[in-house]
Amino acid sequence: MKRKLLLFLLAWLSIQLTFSQDKKEITVLYLIPFHISDSHINISEISTELDIFDVSALQMIGFWEGAKLGLSTYEYSDKKIEVIVRDITTDEVKLKQILEDDRLMKDVDLIIGPFYGSLIPIAAQYANEKKIMIVNPFSIQEAGIETNPYLYKLKPNVSRKPQMVKELILDSIPNYKVHLWCENKEDENVKLYIEYFENQEIAYQIDEIKPYTHRLNLDLGFHKHHVIIALFNNPTVVMNQMRLFDNATEGISYSLIFPEEWLNFSVLDEDFYSLKNLYYFTNCFVEANEKSARFIEDYVAIYQTPCQLERFSFQGYDITRYFIDLYFAQQNPNLVEFTPLSYRFKFKKWSQGGFENEIIRLIKIENFEKREIGK
């Protein structure tokens, strides 16, 4: 009798162990800055339905819309997804209250956010202590990446940009002249290029914008191809300099690499985007294909809102899908079948720490169309 009972218990334990190994459940905590309690949103600036999508404080609604579409893909799968969402901006006290709520956090397996760098160290430390995967989606904050094996940083280190300029642009041009076009040569971004070019023995010229002048301080000639790396972001300066640039480059061979932030400047019109050989670096880019077109169609049909990178619509979808699948793949990226729409992930594993995405993308604008080069 005892032998039969023992065999029964062993069989039952075996069944339970198998079930626990095949268990496909996850609880995801989203820490998204919805700014619900903020009072600085000027309602008087919203006069049409479309104006609301230009309010920067409301942009992350697009992230959540994309995330919900990502979550919906598991509805008829064998995976059970539990979701917790909290509105968190830069309030450290509020974040700590969330993380210290044992009832709320007891089953959390994956944390997406916070989105602001000032809160990343707090959340990352908690995740490390509790052994929970955590995604730093948009901050360049590197706190904990060297020692936290559960931390994923999606924004790449910008130090690769000069190397990409060399490999994807300079190496294909036989006779070039490099210009670092800037407001302040002591800027960290300028120093980054200077250090790389000097190490590689690449000749360069610093063209510093003179304040309060109406002159283009770029030394351009007809006998070389000028690779101009713009490293300034003030919209007024951009507007004035590009007006001068357009007039001064007739017959000049050049490539212009400009900051991604310029894409959001209304001061730049069709005349700017019609310039030849325009490039910019980005972390996220969506190729125009059948897959992205279908996603946009579904998104707009469901939410009746624009599906845009600027609203983080694609990013919310991609991060949700990829990291839930990565969790079920026991953090083995080779077992993740999902291909993001806007990201390309290649994670560098810190020896004693977490994971940092290495992929920066160089986009060329030609005939008003964007395409990634060197992928």
292 and 183 housed in the same domain? no
Closest by CA position to 151, among listed 170, 130, 167: 130
CATH, residue 278 = 3.40.1010.20
| pLDDT for res 41 | 61
151 and 298 housed in the same domain? yes
151 and 168 housed in the same domain? no
Res. 13 pLDDT band, cuts 50 70 90: very low
The tens digit of pLDDT for each residue in 47-64 reads 665 566 666 667 789 999
The tens digit of pLDDT for each residue in 203-212 reads 999 999 987 6
Q: Which residues of 338-371 are buried (b: 16+ CB within 10 A; e: fewer)?
A: bebbbbbbebeebeebbbbbeebbbbbbeeeebe
Is the residue at 314 inside a domain? yes
Closest by CA position to 65, among listed 283, 293, 300: 300
Of 240, 257, 282, the one marking the end of a domain is: 282
Q: Which residues contact 349 (CB under 8 A, 6 or more apart)?
A: 355
The tens digit of pLDDT for each residue in 309-333 reads 999 999 999 999 999 999 999 999 9
The mean pLDDT of 235-261, rounded to a whole number, is 92
CATH, residue 29 = 3.40.50.2300
CA distance 177 to 223: 10
Entry pTM: 0.88
CA distance 162 to 282: 14
Q: Residue 196: which domain range?
A: 159-282
Of 282, 316, 334, the one marking the end of a domain is: 282
Closest by CA position to 246, among listed 277, 279, 271, 266: 271
CA distance 275 to 243: 12
Of 282, 302, 323, the one marking the end of a domain is: 282
Closest by CA position to 259, among listed 331, 341, 362, 357: 362
